[in-house]
């Protein structure tokens, strides 16, 4: 894509993009907007998070390998949107959907409370990084294609519910990027989908390698040795990564076939 075309897309994205992206997704915008405006209750957020810690860990740092993301420190509006999207089946991974149903998250208030709790958890910068093949190429790809939405340092945009990317595990970044590209993650921003259609193979590895090395700023990081005091008895030794192979969906298969002739 030429520079000119790229800037045109970005300009269009800037003027058409709204916080809920409601015209592109099935996000329940009334619940989303309600959760955004409620005053969070910290005690309730902590209680609800107990059911999340099994997978995301008591610190919210996820696990290397790509199955469980680091969610600690993510922007509050992003967490709210993702929870509602997962509940509505707009994201491909069925594993955590049961934990977003109305038994665990009974109301917009519950969503607001747990989102606030997670957003305030300090982050780790010991996330899994990529193979480091070509850092300069990764940096250039990121700067040319991603900064307008995700920011120069991967800081995201709270108002527009654009995720912060720093501190995320490499495997998770690659998987989500691929799922957004092939349409498995139905809540994706359609301008992003368009922007990244030309990315394949090494480009994806290099750009995500760069992103996985962006460090969260100091004020968002946990102190060395910090563990979440709300979970004094959690058996962290059991907390190890289990790899789960996901079969390709029809959308993924169609995408693979379309690009099989090689664009790499």
In the complex with ligand HEC, the residue whose CB is nearer, 114 or 222, is 114
Assigned token pair, 170: 């490499």
Report the distance separating Cα 97 and Cα 100, nearest Å.
5
- Work out which of 54, 107, 126, 143 binds ligand HEC, going by CB under 6 A: 54
Report the distance separating Cα 189 and Cα 225, nearest Å.
37
Asked if 177 interacts with ligand HEC (CB under 6 A), we say yes
In the complex with ligand HEC, the residue whose CB is nearer, 103 or 223, is 103
Query: Judged by CB under 6 A, which stretch of 35-43, 184-192, 214-222, 252-260 contacts ligand HEC?
Result: 184-192
Neighbours of 29 (CB within 10 A): 17
Report the distance separating Cα 101 and Cα 84, nearest Å.
9
Whether residue 122 contacts residue 207, with contact meaning beta carbons closer than 8 Å, is answered with no
- Work out which of 63, 76, 87, 91 binds ligand HEC, going by CB under 6 A: 91
- Work out which of 99, 166, 170, 255 binds ligand HEC, going by CB under 6 A: 99
In the complex with ligand HEC, the residue whose CB is nearer, 90 or 222, is 90
In the complex, what is the shortest distance from the CB of residue 156 to ligand HEC, in angstroms, rounded to a whole number? 8
Biggest alpha carbon distance in the chain? 56
Angle at 196 between CA 181 and CA 18, to 5 degrees: 85
Q: Which spans in the chain are helix H? A: 3-16, 29-37, 42-56, 76-87, 108-120, 135-145, 147-150, 170-182, 190-195, 201-212, 250-259
Mask for 189-208, x = binds ligand HEC (CB under 6 A): x-xx--xx----------x-
In the complex with ligand HEC, the residue whose CB is nearer, 225 or 245, is 245
- Could you tell me how many residues of this chain bind ligand HEC (CB under 6 A)? 45
Assigned token pair, 127: 């996330």
Asked if 68 interacts with ligand HEC (CB under 6 A), we say yes
Tell me how far apart the terminal alpha carbons of the chain are, to the nearest angstrom.
15
In the complex with ligand HEC, the residue whose CB is nearer, 2 or 223, is 2
Asked if 93 interacts with ligand HEC (CB under 6 A), we say yes
Closest CA to 145 of 183, 181, 80, 192: 192
In the complex with ligand HEC, the residue whose CB is nearer, 195 or 223, is 195
List residues near ligand HEC by CB under 6 A.
13, 48, 51-52, 54-56, 67-69, 71, 74, 79, 81-83, 91-93, 95-96, 99, 104, 114, 145-146, 148-150, 162-163, 165, 173, 176-177, 185, 187-189, 191-192, 195-196, 207, 211
């Amino acid at each position: 894509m030429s520079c000119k075309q790229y800037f045109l897309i970005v300009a269009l994205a800037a003027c058409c993009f709204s916080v809920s992206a409601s015209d592109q997704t099935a996000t329940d915008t009334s619940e989303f907007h309600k959760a955004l405006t409620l005053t969070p209750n910290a005690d309730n957020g902590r209680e609800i998070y107990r059911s999340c810690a099994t997978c995301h860990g008591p610190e919210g740092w996820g696990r290397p390998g790509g199955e469980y993301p680091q969610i600690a420190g993510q922007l509050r509006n992003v967490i709210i949107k993702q929870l509602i999207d997962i509940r509505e089946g707009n994201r491909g991974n069925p594993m955590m959907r049961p934990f977003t149903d109305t038994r665990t998250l009974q109301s917009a208030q519950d969503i607001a409370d747990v989102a606030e709790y997670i957003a305030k958890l300090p982050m780790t910068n010991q996330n899994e990084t990529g193979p480091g093949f070509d850092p300069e190429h990764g940096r250039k790809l990121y700067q040319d294609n991603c900064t307008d939405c995700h920011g120069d340092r991967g800081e995201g945009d709270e108002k527009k519910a654009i995720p912060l990317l720093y501190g995320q595990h490499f495997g998770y970044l690659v998987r989500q990027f691929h799922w957004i590209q092939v349409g498995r993650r139905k809540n994706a921003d359609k301008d992003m989908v368009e922007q990244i259609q030309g990315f394949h193979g090494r480009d994806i590895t290099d750009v995500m390698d760069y992103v996985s090395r962006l460090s969260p700023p100091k004020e968002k990081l946990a102190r060395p040795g910090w563990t979440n005091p709300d979970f004094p008895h959690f058996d962290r030794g059991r907390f190890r990564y289990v790899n789960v192979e996901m079969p390709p969906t029809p959308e993924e298969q169609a995408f693979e076939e379309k690009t099989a002739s090689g664009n790499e």
